[in-house]
Amino acid sequence: MHVLMVIAGGLVLLLVFILFGWLWGGSSLGMVLATRAFVPFWLLMAGINMWVGVTYAGYSLRQELPILLLVFAVPTFAAGIALWQFAHA
């Protein structure tokens, strides 16, 4: 359940980044830049989530690495689709 909540949080964060990109740029260029900025930020957040799982929840690094990949991949894939859509707009 926690994994789904983190993924949903990542998707909501992506929407916030896109909204701010639209507000700043007013065009698809601002949204493209915001979507590109989301990916490294989300990698940092997913890494922090893994660190919390290893440090405080008692999971091993081997147990948390697949979760890190899943948590990072789903919102990043959505960002890639959004980036593709904005680049062709």
Nearest CA to 21 out of 30, 13, 11, 29 is that of 30
Q: Rounded to 5 degrees, what angle do the CA atoms 73, 74, 77 make?
A: 80
**Is residue 68 a contact partner of residue 49, using CB atoms and an 8 Å limit?**
yes
Asked whether the predicted pLDDT for residue 25 surpasses 80, the reply is no
Closest by CA to 75, choosing from 31, 42, 36, is 42
Q: Which helix or strand (DSSP H or E) is residue 88 part of?
A: none
What pLDDT digit, counting tens, does each position of 37-71 carry?
999 999 999 999 999 999 999 999 999 999 999 99
pLDDT over 90 (residue 26): no
